[in-house]
């Protein structure tokens, strides 16, 4: 299973196919070379997998995906907490 995480482009590097992207408050460099010709700009949202922007998405899709990912994380945390409370190792 592959997981792609939405991030918002903050800045496009002028001399190489990289962008500074904000992913839930953390900024990182992401390779945007696979989306050459998409006309990416600051404020655009992309799906990121292993450091590469795989596709351009709209803000509504990005926010829905982030909400889903946060829900999965919360469900996982709840399950681990329940297992700890049950005494099962």
Q: In the chain, what are the domain boundaries?
A: 5-86
CATH fold, domain 5-86, is SH3 type barrels. (2.30.30)
pLDDT band at 87 (very low <50, low <70, confident <90, very high): low
Q: Answer yes or no: are the C-beta atoms of 45 and 57 closer than 8 Å.
A: yes
pTM of the model: 0.81
Question: Per-residue pLDDT for 18 more than 80?
Answer: yes
What does the pLDDT read at residue 77? 77
Burial 39-49 (b: 16+ CB within 10 A, else e): ebeeebbbbbe
Strand, coil or helix: what is 57? strand
CA distance 31 to 49: 10
39-50 confidence digits (pLDDT tens): 999 999 999 999
């Amino acid at each position: 299973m592959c997981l792609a995480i939405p991030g918002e482009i903050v800045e496009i590097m002028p001399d190489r196919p990289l962008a500074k992207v904000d992913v839930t408050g953390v900024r990182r460099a992401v390779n945007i070379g696979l989306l050459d010709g998409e006309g990416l700009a600051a404020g655009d949202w992309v799906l990121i997998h292993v450091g590469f922007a795989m596709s351009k998405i709209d803000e509504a899709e990005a926010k829905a995906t982030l909400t889903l990912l946060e829900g999965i994380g919360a469900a996982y945390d709840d399950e681990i907490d329940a297992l700890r409370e049950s005494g099962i190792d």
